[in-house]
Amino acid sequence: LDLDLGTYEYVTSSVPSSLAAGAAVGMGIGPTHIDTVLGVYKTYCTRVGNGPFPTELFDETGSMLREGGPRPEYGSTTGRPRRCGWFDAVAARFTAQANGIGGAALTRLDVLDQFDTIKVCTAYRVGSETVKTMPASGFDLARAEPIYEELPGWRSDTAGIRRYEDLPEAAQAYVQFIQEKLGVPLCLISVGPEREQAISMRPLE
């Protein structure tokens, strides 16, 4: 959504509202006072409004992602249903690099409890080319087709788990896969909307 680094024309009016630098620009904080940036990612992707969305799902799976958690995916102000799709590691890695994040939180792991198979987009097919980095133009992103890797689901309730080692093996494998593709360490995993529904992985450095 960032005016400079987003996919124009589907951007906001402020600069750089969607980047960590926005804290310095918007609140008058010197950039040297920001020690570490924490990125926050859902275990799947969502979007409200128009714009390119390579992993968007229009089938029952998309509806399950939207309705599956304790807090369904609808706009908090407008009530509009959010567009949902599988985790996009290409876009996630781009935001991690653009923001210089030192660690990440992975939220809504519990929403994936319902799936036998989980997909992660690890590259795009743009025309005849396979690309693993974010396309520079909105035109190319709009015609990008996701290339997926499939991981086994775990089909068990994770909402009550508070330690990483107590997660199902398939859930642990999924978390490690996301961490590898993101390229930064995961510090926190959430398994529900409440404050206590969090699993600490490591301190944020």
Higher pLDDT, 49 or 180: 180
| Side-chain half-sphere exposure of 186, counting CA atoms within 13 A | 26
Same domain (yes/no): 2, 78: no
Please check the confidence at residue 132 and state whether its pLDDT lies above 60: yes
Same domain (yes/no): 11, 50: no
For strands 117-126 and 145-152, give the pairing: antiparallel
Question: Domain for residue 102, yes or no?
Answer: yes
Same domain (yes/no): 115, 188: yes
**Residue 58 corresponds to which tokens in the numbers above?**
């229009």
**Residue 11 corresponds to which tokens in the numbers above?**
């951007």
Question: Domain for residue 98, yes or no?
Answer: yes
Same domain (yes/no): 59, 31: no
Q: How confident is the model at residue 9 (pLDDT cuts 50, 70, 90)?
A: low
Using CA atoms, how far apart are residues 165 and 78, in angstroms rounded to an integer? 39
Question: Domain for residue 178, yes or no?
Answer: yes
Across the strands, what pairs with 39?
A: 104
Question: Domain for residue 77, yes or no?
Answer: yes
Higher pLDDT, 100 or 170: 170
Residue range of the domain that includes 13: 1-35
Same domain (yes/no): 24, 65: no
Sheet holding 38-42, edge to edge: 38-42, 103-107, 186-190, 198-200
Q: How confident is the model at residue 202 (pLDDT cuts 50, 70, 90)?
A: confident
- Give the total number of structural domains in the chain: 2
Higher pLDDT, 95 or 203: 95
User: Which tens digit of pLDDT belongs to each residue from 76-109?
Assistant: 888 899 999 999 999 999 999 988 899 999 999 9
- State residue 6's pLDDT score: 56
Same domain (yes/no): 64, 135: yes
Question: Domain for residue 123, yes or no?
Answer: yes
Task: State the CATH number of the domain containing residue 67.
Answer: 3.90.170.10
| Side-chain half-sphere exposure of 36, counting CA atoms within 13 A | 10
Question: Domain for residue 205, yes or no?
Answer: no
- State residue 19's pLDDT score: 66
Are residues 79 and 87 in contact, defined by beta-carbon separation less than 8 angstroms? Answer: no
Higher pLDDT, 191 or 3: 191
Q: DSSP letter at 74?
A: B
Question: Domain for residue 196, yes or no?
Answer: yes
Q: How confident is the model at residue 4 (pLDDT cuts 50, 70, 90)?
A: low
User: Which tens digit of pLDDT belongs to each residue from 16-61?
Assistant: 555 676 777 777 777 777 788 899 999 999 998 888 999 999 999 9
Same domain (yes/no): 14, 48: no
Using CA atoms, how far apart are residues 145 and 56, in angstroms rounded to an integer? 10
